[in-house]
């Protein structure tokens, strides 16, 4: 009998409840929202919905590295940009479709992240934050100034919309379903990563990396893995963005975007995946809802961030309550299989 069993008993009730909330969320994302969108039938609403979903993925991927592993990452938007540019260049130069560019964008972003992580992952705390800031700015400068390759500030037109093995999904509803499906799958993957023994190892780095090191957790390797994985998902988000808007330019991937993603994770609650999702929805939908305020909506982003740090230091949905929610309601509780496997690396 281990401690986790008493925390979340794996009886029939929990298991059934564990299916209810995911089913409701899926119903909302794949049936209710598209029905609403189709009811209004305005391109603008589709744009907002897709944008919000893409930022949910970005925020979730940053949650993995900043929330769970506790590494302050100030250059996340650059990897999002690497993914978007990979998709755009593959489409415009080689004429490849979305089915091919989606995984490739993620892989290229992950590869770039892995290469820059090799020398810098040994740094801790503020030094790490500074290094990621510099890396992000360097990647941004490459996008901006390597005019022969990236067309610089003019940006690239992405001529192809979404498709799946040749079937075009570039209609409004098709695009929404593609984005929603990719984002949902990725968020589930990130959720499985952060609510597992693997996620706990990352949390141990955040709490005390020297102690974790002494306990036999390979901190440098885990940091690199978390960094690379988060860049992979950021690259996926970039590919979605490129195919969704049909036009990308370096301005979409500058420092302020990194800060916006960071603000989402912080407002939602560091270390909490549901919080990161709520934060992303809040910071994308709130400025759109406040469109009537005109120029003041950007100030609102700063104010929301400031007030939430001041008044809700744990975020809208703090880590502890988020963990409880995920374990109880989303069926992610650890279950002892009874085969004597015990606690360990999976």
Which residues would be at the binding site for another protein (CB under 8 A)? 70, 72, 119-120, 123-127, 129-131, 133-135, 137-138, 141, 144-145, 255-256, 259, 262-263, 266, 295-296, 298-299, 301-303, 305-306, 309-310, 313
Rounded least distance, CB 191 to another protein, Å: 24
The residue (of 139 and 244) whose beta carbon lies closer to another protein is 139
Rounded least distance, CB 52 to another protein, Å: 20
The residue (of 25 and 72) whose beta carbon lies closer to another protein is 72
The residue (of 102 and 284) whose beta carbon lies closer to another protein is 284
The residue (of 163 and 288) whose beta carbon lies closer to another protein is 288
Strand, coil or helix: 164: strand
Residue closest to 269 by CA, chosen among 259, 280, 284, 258: 280
The residue (of 36 and 303) whose beta carbon lies closer to another protein is 303
Rounded least distance, CB 256 to another protein, Å: 8
The residue (of 188 and 299) whose beta carbon lies closer to another protein is 299
Exposed, middle or buried: residue 25 (CB in 10 Å: 0-12, 13-18, 19+)? middle
Q: Measured at the alpha carbon of residue 312, what is the angle toward residues 311 and 313, in degrees to the nearest 5?
A: 105
Instruction: Report residue 247: phi and psi, to 5°.
Output: -155, 130
Rounded least distance, CB 185 to another protein, Å: 30
Give the distance from CA 101 to its chain's centroid: 18
Residue closest to 79 by CA, chosen among 140, 156, 157: 140
Strand, coil or helix: 312: coil
Rounded least distance, CB 283 to another protein, Å: 12
Rounded least distance, CB 134 to another protein, Å: 4
């Amino acid at each position: 009998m281990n401690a986790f069993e008493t925390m979340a008993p794996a009886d029939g009730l929990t298991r059934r409840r564990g299916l209810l909330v995911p089913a409701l969320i899926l119903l909302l994302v794949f049936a209710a929202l598209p029905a609403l969108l189709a009811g209004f039938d305005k391109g603008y609403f589709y744009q907002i919905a897709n944008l919000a979903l893409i930022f949910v993925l970005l925020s979730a991927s940053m949650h993995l590295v900043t929330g769970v592993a506790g590494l302050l990452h100030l250059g996340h938007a650059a990897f999002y940009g690497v993914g978007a540019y990979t998709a755009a260049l593959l489409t415009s130069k080689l004429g490849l479709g979305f089915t091919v560019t989606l995984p490739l964008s993620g892989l290229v972003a992950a590869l770039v992240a892995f290469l820059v992580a090799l020398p810098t992952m040994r740094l801790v705390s503020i030094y790490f934050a500074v290094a990621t800031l510099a890396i992000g700015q360097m990647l941004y400068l490459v996008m901006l100034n390597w005019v022969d390759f990236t067309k610089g500030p003019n940006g690239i037109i992405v001529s192809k919309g979404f498709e799946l093995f040749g079937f075009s999904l570039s209609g409004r509803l098709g695009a929404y379903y593609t984005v929603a499906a990719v984002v949902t799958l990725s968020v589930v993957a990130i959720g499985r990563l952060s609510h597992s023994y693997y996620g706990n190892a990352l949390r141990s780095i955040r709490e005390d990396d020297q102690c974790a090191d002494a306990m036999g957790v390979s901190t440098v390797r885990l940091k690199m893995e978390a960094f690379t994985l988060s860049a992979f998902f950021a690259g996926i988000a970039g590919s979605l963005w490129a195919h969704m808007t049909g036009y990308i330019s370096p301005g979409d991937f500058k420092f302020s975007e990194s800060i916006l993603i960071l603000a989402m994770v912080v407002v939602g609650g560091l270390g909490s995946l549901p919080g990161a999702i709520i934060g992303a929805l809040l910071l994308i939908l709130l400025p759109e809802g406040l469109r009537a305020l005109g120029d003041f909506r950007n100030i609102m982003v700063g104010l929301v961030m400031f007030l939430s740090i001041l008044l809700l230091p744990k975020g809208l949905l703090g880590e502890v309550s988020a963990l409880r929610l995920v374990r109880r309601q989303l069926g992610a509780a650890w279950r002892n299989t009874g085969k004597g496997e015990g606690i360990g690396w999976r």
